[in-house]
Amino acid sequence: MKSCLITNSGINQNTGGGIVSLNLLQALEQCTDVKYIFSNKKYEGKPSYSINPADYNYNADPFSMDYLAYHLLPDEPIDIVQTYGCPFGLTVEELKRKGAKVVADVAPHNLEISQEEHLKLTGKYPYPHLTEEMLWGMYSRNLCLSDVVIVHSHSSAKYIQQKARLKELPTVIPHGINLPETIPAYPEKFIPGYFGALGVDKGLSYLIRAWVQINTPTPKGELYVGGYGTEAFGQSPYCKALGGFENTSDFYKQVSIGVFPSVTEGFNICALEMMAHGRPVIVAEGAGVNELIEDGKSGFRIPIRNIEALQGRINYFFDNPSEVTRMGAEARKMAEKYEWSKVREQYVSIYNQL
């Protein structure tokens, strides 16, 4: 079978989208002949095409990658198409017309909650393609055209089926991780950590407010914040912003627990990576990865936007250091179930059934 990968991300080990795209490519390579790749940067080793608007001096908009991919499509017939992200409606429609089977992989946010959060914190929601009915129909069209839609949590499956008016409930395949050989040593002092982006939906403002309250009036330590762009967050007496890491393990080794307060997020690979390093996690129910957390065993699930819950769970670990190692060991056991090699097999199974 001949296949192609179309992703709105890069293909690398440096970003969440890049890691997912790389593993989708490797899954395709296990059972098909990958003929070409579309991504936001040309991928060495395979015939590939950049669909990054900047490479063509073209102004980016939510539909520009789809437009470029459609006009760059080779004439070669393809059996299986794997897409990652939205939108690729124009491109998918053309490939379907030529007889291809399409698997769409998407990690949807709850758009209503996202809009609420943006309006509350910034006063605007600058994504009309996600709120205007006609534009949303264009944006989500490739999901309606696809033979299989894959999401990464059961809550996402229910949400996007209703939101995109899909006939069938999407298939749920959680993201994976590259498992370190051993659990790294814990830091000598208690250090909670957040790793990820600074997007409004990530809920970082609630974590900062909770941590300031924990440290008032008696300081208890520093919160480490890492991820590309977080260096712009600045420094405070209670927070240490570390910026990006080429090897994310270098961040996870520095902290005792992970805290991920997302108000809405399709999954959150960083939380699962933190668990793979033997760190228990506190995860808000807005992140799809919360479905993998055994509450009170490998970490804690908390309601979104709940500063008191964040305070309580962080203080629990601060006051009970033995629980960090106990629950960290359980977190590691759970993460072992989601090594990328195991996750890729689920994609291979889908490809083989098309």
Q: How far is 134 from 258, CA to CA, in rounded Å?
A: 40
Q: How far is 279 from 69, CA to CA, in rounded Å?
A: 41
* pLDDT over 70 (residue 352): yes
Is 204 within the bounds of a domain?
yes
CA distances from 91 to 67, 83, 164, 165, 341 (A): 8, 10, 18, 20, 29
Whole-number pLDDT of residue 229: 82
Given a contact cutoff of 8 angstroms between Cβ atoms, the answer to whether 255 and 275 are in contact is no
What stretch of H or E contains 144?
A: helix 141-145
* Range 327-344 average pLDDT: 97
Residues 163 and 24 both lie in one domain: yes
Residues 41 and 154 both lie in one domain: yes
Residues 135 and 42 both lie in one domain: yes
280-196-65 Cα angle (round to 5): 135
Residues 345 and 320 both lie in one domain: no
Whole-number pLDDT of residue 46: 80
- Which residue, 262, 314, 326, 327, is CA-closest to 289? 262
Whole-number pLDDT of residue 228: 85
Residues 74 and 62 both lie in one domain: yes
- pLDDT confidence bin for 45, thresholds 50/70/90: confident
Question: Domain with 49 in it: what CATH number?
Answer: 3.40.50.2000
Residues 293 and 151 both lie in one domain: no
* pLDDT over 90 (residue 115): yes
Distance of CA 231 to the CA centre of its chain: 20
Is 23 within the bounds of a domain?
yes
Distance of CA 160 to the CA centre of its chain: 16
Is 9 within the bounds of a domain?
yes
Given a contact cutoff of 8 angstroms between Cβ atoms, the answer to whether 230 and 243 are in contact is yes
Is 243 within the bounds of a domain?
yes
* pLDDT over 90 (residue 197): no
Given a contact cutoff of 8 angstroms between Cβ atoms, the answer to whether 161 and 170 are in contact is yes
Is 47 within the bounds of a domain?
yes
pLDDT in tens, 48-95: 999 999 999 988 899 999 999 999 999 999 999 999 998 999 999 999
Residues 287 and 329 both lie in one domain: yes
Return the sign of the alpha-carbon dihedral for residues 277, 281, 285, 291: positive
Given a contact cutoff of 8 angstroms between Cβ atoms, the answer to whether 35 and 4 are in contact is yes
Residues 169 and 235 both lie in one domain: no
Given a contact cutoff of 8 angstroms between Cβ atoms, the answer to whether 153 and 291 are in contact is yes
* pLDDT over 90 (residue 235): no
CA distances from 45 to 29, 35, 36 (A): 12, 11, 10
Give the mean pLDDT of the chain: 94
Whole-number pLDDT of residue 13: 77
Residues 349 and 322 both lie in one domain: no
Is 187 within the bounds of a domain?
no
Whole-number pLDDT of residue 234: 67
Given a contact cutoff of 8 angstroms between Cβ atoms, the answer to whether 267 and 298 are in contact is no
pTM score of the predicted model:
0.94
Is 184 within the bounds of a domain?
no
Q: Tokens representing 72? A: 């760059």
Q: How far is 29 from 122, CA to CA, in rounded Å?
A: 43
What domain range includes position 271? 192-336
For residue 141, the 8-state DSSP code is: H
Is 185 within the bounds of a domain?
no
Residues 168 and 25 both lie in one domain: yes
Number of domains forming the structure of the chain: 2
Residues 233 and 318 both lie in one domain: yes
